[in-house]
């Protein structure tokens, strides 16, 4: 096939995927597999080879992704159920005081969303938002927007949350670099979208605590409420896997190949090792030590895996889609087209993720789809580890912007903050867009030096 035909095949594949998900209401997992089959056939791959190609790539992708997401989910559930997440929030609020509470809430969201899913973390802190609004007399948005911005950044920018882990796995990015660049781009994004925008929108849109407001979700306290984890312990457990992963990445830069310490640090800093160590410690420090029985800890670990199955399958199917594009030669063709368009890879990654985000809603699906399209391009146009990590953050930024009525997060925030659809568009959609655009702006500038 000609270069033009292969580029057209990529465009057709993306369009077909969006039609199946948005118009046909087909599940993203099935839609990705169907699109992969159609593109493979049209791309000239022998039909007898297609099932084997799908099986091989599905297994290869999930061999890494499933472990990281699964273990990370267990760790997050222990932090939530033990009261560790609340300990972090309450301590930060106490230290920052009422005046600087938006900064404390933004930092809380950023820290807690790293191990805990966005929706779970938000529901966990809704009662705290209601309490702060009643106590201060301010609009509910004054405290809610900074928290939501921090949660959005932690959810999309910083591993081991599923989105960036999935994209890093599909693109072969070093998680240490992703964590570092995600923090550098994410912190300004949380400040602009959270603290800055929160203060302004709360002065224009006054929201009282909804009439239906009452504590939501199950209590995070262990059987003996007097023995909740200290903030030092909770924050230390959150920081442990991040620091180990960063240590492994730093050793690969600072130490020469063959150095015995480099291999040791690489093993300790591998995401598998780092997350398993943190999770095992959490089972004791946030479980057994606080009065949970072994059966209760086991049930919590099992329950934590329920929401991640979909994410794992969609990620694997996204990897299959990318592999099919490589096998048809479309990846090389798009890379050649990119060379003539002169559009930076970071900008292309952001735009692809943003278009998919607007079309179908899910940030995770948007990230996986964009990564599937960028993976063959990176195979044809190799990039340094920091630049690949920058592309991961650009995808995360694009998948954050313009959340609207086809995004479950839109309705979750609308419901718990008591906003109308119009208000949610003015508040939540604008906040998400500010977070994504700010993150992209920072990473675009950084990519010029990587």
Residue 373: partners with Cβ closer than 8 Å, 6 or more residues away: 10, 14, 322, 325, 334, 352
From residue 385, give the alpha-carbon distance in Å to each of 69, 180, 294. Answer: 22, 12, 41
Query: Between residues 28 and 324, which one has the greater pLDDT?
Result: 324
**Number of neighbouring beta carbons within 10 Å of residue 384:** 11
- Reported residue count of the chain is 450
From residue 218, give the alpha-carbon distance in Å to each of 18, 83, 124, 159. Answer: 36, 11, 8, 26
Structure tokens belonging to residue 181: 């660049």
**Number of neighbouring beta carbons within 10 Å of residue 11:** 12
Distance CA 34, CA 49 (A): 16
Least confident of 108-112, 276-280, 300-304: 108-112
**Residue 432 · residue 404 · CB < 8 Å:** no
For 261, counting Cβ atoms within 10 Å of its Cβ (0-12 exposed, 13-18 middle, 19+ buried), the class is: exposed
**Residue 150 · residue 194 · CB < 8 Å:** yes
**Residue 45 · residue 327 · CB < 8 Å:** yes
**Number of neighbouring beta carbons within 10 Å of residue 168:** 28
pLDDT category, 77, cuts 50, 70, 90? confident
Least confident of 123-127, 207-211, 402-406, 414-418: 123-127
pLDDT (0 to 100) of residue 361: 66
Return the ∠ at Cα 182 (arms to 186 and 112), rounded to 5°: 70
> What average pLDDT does range 79-107 have in this prediction?
78
Q: Nearest to residue 1, comparing CAs of 341, 323, 331?
A: 331
User: Per DSSP, which regions of 209-251 are E strands?
Assistant: none
In the predicted structure, residue 85 carries a pLDDT above the cut 80: no
Q: Nearest to residue 142, comparing CAs of 231, 46, 206, 54?
A: 206
**Element containing residue 307 per DSSP (H, E):** none
Is the peptide bond between 160 and the residue preceding it cis, with omega within 30 degrees of 0?
yes
Question: Does the pTM of the predicted model rise above 0.75?
Answer: no
Name the DSSP letter for residue 257.
Answer: T
Residue 266: partners with Cβ closer than 8 Å, 6 or more residues away: 248, 251, 252
pLDDT category, 218, cuts 50, 70, 90? very low
Each residue's pLDDT tens digit, 406-437: 676 787 788 778 888 788 889 999 999 999 99
Distance CA 160, CA 276 (A): 12
pLDDT category, 340, cuts 50, 70, 90? low
> What average pLDDT does range 239-260 have in this prediction?
78
> What average pLDDT does range 15-37 have in this prediction?
83
In the predicted structure, residue 266 carries a pLDDT above the cut 70: yes
Distance CA 176, CA 398 (A): 21
Each residue's pLDDT tens digit, 174-192: 888 999 999 999 999 999 9
**Element containing residue 208 per DSSP (H, E):** none
351: left (phi over 0), alpha (psi -120 to 50) or beta: alpha
In the predicted structure, residue 332 carries a pLDDT above the cut 70: no
Distance CA 75, CA 36 (A): 34
């Amino acid at each position: 096939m000609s270069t033009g035909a292969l580029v057209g095949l990529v465009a057709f594949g993306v369009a077909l995927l969006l039609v199946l998900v948005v118009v046909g209401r087909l599940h993203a997992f099935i839609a990705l597999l169907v699109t992969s089959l159609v593109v493979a056939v049209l791309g000239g791959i022998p039909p007898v080879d297609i099932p084997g190609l799908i099986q091989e790539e599905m297994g290869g992708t999930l061999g890494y992704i499933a472990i990281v997401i699964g273990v990370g989910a267990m760790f997050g559930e222990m932090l939530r159920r033990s009261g560790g997440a609340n300990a972090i929030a309450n301590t930060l609020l106490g230290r920052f005081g009422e005046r600087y509470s938006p900064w404390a809430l933004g930092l809380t969201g950023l820290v807690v969303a790293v191990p805990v899913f966005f929706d779970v973390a938000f529901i966990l802190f809704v009662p705290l938002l209601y309490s702060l609004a009643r106590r201060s007399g301010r609009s509910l948005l004054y405290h809610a927007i900074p928290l939501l911005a921090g949660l959005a950044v932690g959810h999309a920018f910083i591993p081991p949350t599923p989105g960036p882990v999935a994209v890093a796995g599909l693109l072969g990015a070093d998680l240490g670099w992703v964590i570092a660049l995600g923090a550098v781009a994410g912190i300004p994004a949380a400040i602009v979208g959270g603290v800055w925008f929160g203060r302004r929108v709360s002065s224009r849109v006054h929201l009282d605590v909804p009439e239906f407001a009452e504590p939501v979700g199950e209590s995070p306290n262990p059987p003996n409420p007097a023995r909740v984890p200290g903030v030092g312990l909770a924050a230390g457990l959150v920081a442990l896997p991040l620091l180990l992963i960063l240590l492994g990445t730093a050793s690969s830069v600072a130490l020469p190949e063959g150095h015995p310490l480099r291999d040791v640090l690489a093993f300790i800093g591998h995401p598998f090792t780092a997350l398993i160590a943190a999770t095992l410690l959490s089972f004791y420090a946030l479980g057994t030590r606080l009065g949970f029985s072994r059966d209760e800890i086991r049930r919590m670990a099992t329950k934590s895996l329920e929401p991640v199955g979909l994410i794992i399958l969609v990620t694997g199917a996204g990897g299959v889609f990318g592999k099919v594009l490589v096998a048809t030669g479309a990846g090389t063709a798009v890379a050649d087209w990119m060379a003539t368009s002169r559009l930076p890879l970071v900008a292309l990654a952001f735009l692809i993720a943003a278009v998919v985000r607007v079309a179908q809603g899910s940030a995770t699906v948007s990230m996986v789809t964009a990564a599937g399209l960028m993976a063959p391009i990176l195979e044809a146009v190799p990039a340094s580890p920091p630049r690949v990590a920058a592309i991961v953050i650009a995808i995360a930024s694009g998948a954050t912007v313009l959340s609207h009525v086809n995004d479950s997060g839109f309705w979750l925030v609308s419901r718990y903050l008591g906003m109308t659809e119009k208000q949610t568009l003015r508040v939540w959609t604008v906040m998400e867009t500010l977070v994504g655009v700010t993150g992209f702006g920072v990473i675009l500038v950084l990519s010029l030096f990587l």
